Amino acid sequence: MNHTNSHRAGFARKLLPIAAAAALLGAAASAHAADAVVLYTADGLENLYKDVLPAFEKKEGVKVNIVTAGSGEVVNRANVEKDSPKADVIVTLPPFIQQAQQSGLLQPYQSVNYKNVPTIAKATDGSWATFVNNYFSFAINPDVVKNEPKTFADLLHPDYSGKVAYSNPATAGDGMAVIILTTSLMGEDKAFDYLKKLEQSAKFHTKGTGYLDVLLSRNEISVANGDLQMDLDDAANGGLSLKPIFLAADAGGRPTTFQLPYAIGLIKNGPNQAEGKKLIDYLMSTDVQSKVPDIFGIPARTDVALTGKNGEAVKQAIQGVKLIPVDWNQVMAKKADWTTRWKNEVIGTSGKQIEVVKPK
């Protein structure tokens, strides 16, 4: 695959144009009953779906219609449609899966295949469970960035002026993760002071995180936020020039991150709940979970090992990285305030774009 085409492939995979999304939603609306099941999903798992869904469609005799967007956006869309749901299953990141649960968007469903998911990684009532485990990361274009940043302070260097971007915390789970990690390491006030300084180097913010990988590879930016699974998958299978990195709070400190898993849930009163439940059972099966390492994800089930060449790449990438726990209930309590504070204090009156959907 040549360089231009590889960009285009990554671009096509990552960007679901608004028209296509609208068309899919139209299809979802008309495809009730047994002929389709509709999946709303955060971006990053496209290659897994491409690999595993044809077998499900063949076995069940149903089409799986997929709508892909940022984590917050898929939940916002489901919320808008709450009185007349168009989706059956949702896959999104925390804290947006918890938001969906609190908003009454999810139908508790205790899949038989949740039993091997650790208690800490699922809702007690079956509203959601971890589907693919993952880690928050940053990413660079290794062709352009020769001195890899090691700390958050490094991103403030003049070399990165106008070359930094991260996704909007209001619409993207990985964007909210920027706030979660910086506040965990620095405390809230210092974190927002830092983000204000970083904003002087920021080119813009995107609606979803997947778009950033393409922009990095095109050298429109040099540093962005991401997540380990998506970044490794885009580099290996999307032909994109990017490398995931982890940052330390201080010089000489250990690079630090936290788990940021993809979680799955059943939409309440979805048009095809029976097939939605079967889709969840299938995606959480040992067959599908054993393919999760192929796309650089970590199986959610404790009885499925992280193996193979790509599994080893994940282990290598997180070697020596300090993992910190996250209290998602606290994040949910803070989320609205953090989003408002980010818009007021970090973006302010700059007029900077915060919902870039695709590269110009």
pLDDT of amino acid 263? 98
Supply angle C-alpha 212, 326, 96, rounded to 5.
Answer: 55
To which residue do tokens 């970590």 refer? 298
Calpha distance 202→195 (Å, rounded): 10
Domains 3-134+260-311 and 136-257+316-347 share a fold: yes
Q: Give DSSP secondary structure letters for 185-241.
A: HH-HHHHHHHHHHHHTTEEEEESSSHHHHHHHHTTS-SEEEEEHHHHHHHHHHS---
Domain map (residue ranges) of the chain: 3-134+260-311, 136-257+316-347
Q: What is the third-level CATH fold of 136-257+316-347?
A: D-Maltodextrin-Binding Protein; domain 2 (3.40.190)
Whole-model pTM: value is 0.83
Nearest to 210 by CA among 170, 255, 165, 180: 165
Enter the tokens of residue 53: 């869904």
Q: Which residues pair with 262 in a beta bridge?
A: 132
Calpha distance 202→200 (Å, rounded): 6
Calpha distance 60→54 (Å, rounded): 10
- Taken in order 196, 201, 204, 205, is the CA torsion positive or negative? negative
Task: Assign domain 3-134+260-311 one CATH number from 3.40.630.30, 3.40.50.620, 3.50.50.60, 3.40.190.10.
Answer: 3.40.190.10
3-state secondary structure of 115: coil
Q: Mean pLDDT by 10-residue block, N- to C-terminus, for the chain (360 residues)?
A: 36 39 44 74 94 97 94 94 97 94 97 96 96 96 93 96 94 91 97 97 91 92 94 91 96 95 97 97 98 96 96 95 92 95 95 80
pLDDT of amino acid 292? 97
